Amino acid sequence: MIDRVVALGGPPGSGKTTAARRLAEEMGLALVSAGERFRAEAARKGLELVEFSRYAEGHPEVDRELDRAMADSAAPGRLLEGRVQGPLLRRRGIPVYYLAVTANPETRAGRIARRDGVSVAVAGEKMRAREASERQRYRDLYGLDLERERPDLLVDSSDQSPEEVVAILRRFLEEQGARSAR
């Protein structure tokens, strides 16, 4: 069994959500996704993701409530997927394996374009706007700069399949002594 929380972060389009779902399934971890919760709240308000990010800039309670709920979900045997979960759990003194998946901007924009059914140019614009909004919000709320936060493991998914990325993440956790709950 995994003796601590697993947090998986990374920028939009990096493959973190796909990796989180597959890793959770393979290792028998309960998945809690900040991205899904954020998207659900955006939909509830009738806003697109970028619009809701802009809304959150003027309403810090959006991020605070989401991040509090995520931290409250933190427990061994759970995988928390979200951009800031690893660093925030560390700051709270919660034992965590902080993993991150990244990819080059072109790959990320292409993935977002396919997922959202838009052009790569539009996806790239939305991705950059979302990242700028998040970067400013995380600095304002938590004094957090994700560029300076160092995960326990960083995997570049630019030229790797989801299966390859998950295999790397799983191998790392197993090397830490984590065993599948299955």
What is the distance between the alpha carbons of residues 1 and 173, in angstroms, rounded to a whole number? 11
Q: What is the pTM of this model?
A: 0.90
* CATH class of the domain whose range is 5-175: alpha beta
Is pLDDT above 80 for 180? no
How many C-beta neighbours within 10 Å does residue 61 have? 9
How many residues in total does the chain contain?
182
pLDDT score recorded for residue 3? 85
96 contact partners, CB below 8 Å, separation of at least 6:
4, 5, 6, 7, 74, 86, 89, 90
Give the number of other CB atoms < 10 A from CB of residue 43: 12
pLDDT the model gives residue 19: 97
* Whole-number Å distance between alpha carbons of 93 and 158: 32
Q: Tens digit of pLDDT for each residue in 48-99?
A: 988 998 899 999 999 999 999 999 999 999 999 999 999 999 999 999 999 9
Q: Compute the mean pLDDT over every residue in the chain, rounded to the nearest whole number.
A: 93
Q: Where are the domains of the chain?
A: 5-175
Query: What does the pLDDT look like over 123-132, one tens digit per residue?
Result: 999 999 989 9
The answer on pLDDT for 181 being more than 80 is no
Contact in structure between 129 and 140 (CB atoms under 8 Å)? no
Q: To the nearest 10°, the Cα dihedral for 87, 74, 174, 16?
A: -60
User: Which residue has tokens 């995380």?
Assistant: 138
What's the confidence (pLDDT) of residue 146?
87
7-42 pLDDT per residue, tens:
999 999 999 999 999 999 999 999 999 999 999 999
Q: Return the amino acid letter for 127.
A: M
Q: Specify whether the CB–CB gap between 92 and 71 falls below 8 A.
A: yes
pLDDT given at position 2: 81
pLDDT digit string, tens, across residues 117-161: 999 999 999 999 989 999 999 999 999 998 899 999 999 999 999
